[in-house]
Amino acid sequence: METQQQVRQHSTRTRTWHFIRHFAEMVAAMLVGMVVLGLATEGVLALTGLDLPASPEFASLKMAFDMAVGMVVWMRFRGHGWASTLEMSGVMFLPPVALFPVLWLGLLSADTMHLVEHVLMLPLMLAVMLRRRTEFGG
């Protein structure tokens, strides 16, 4: 028979594994959303002969949207509720919006802003997950 301490350790390991797996799934969903929707957009634009606005702000918001769509699709597929799904996908938009004034002031280049956005998205996702650790811990 397992002791109570062994059961607790197993339970903690299981919850930790679920938490880490969810984080990895969200990163993968972001990448898939970015690639799939990015390619779809390029295809539609090629067929129509239209161009997207060339501003770094638009590019940032489009990328955030593409990643958020990927996350929404995967989280709903995995059975998560709308509140946590919208929170998780919503944090994709915080870094770009927060960095726009820094870009406008000339303190960051567009390329650096895009890099910083991606770096900031990960801890923001983690913050949402920690806020709802019982849901994301399995």
- For residue range 120-133, list pLDDT tens digits in order: 999 999 999 898 88
Instruction: Tell me how far apart the alpha carbons of residues 121 and 12 are, in angstroms, rounded to a whole number.
Output: 26
Query: At residue 93, does pLDDT exceed 90?
Result: yes
Query: At residue 1, does pLDDT exceed 90?
Result: no
Q: Give residue-wise pLDDT tens across range 29-79.
A: 999 999 999 899 888 888 888 787 789 999 999 999 999 999 999 999 999
Query: At residue 4, does pLDDT exceed 60?
Result: yes
* Predicted local confidence at residue 34, as pLDDT: 92
Instruction: Tell me how far apart the alpha carbons of residues 43 and 101 are, in angstroms, rounded to a whole number.
Output: 32
Which residue would you say has higher pLDDT here, 50 or 109? 109
Instruction: Tell me how far apart the alpha carbons of residues 40 and 21 are, in angstroms, rounded to a whole number.
Output: 28
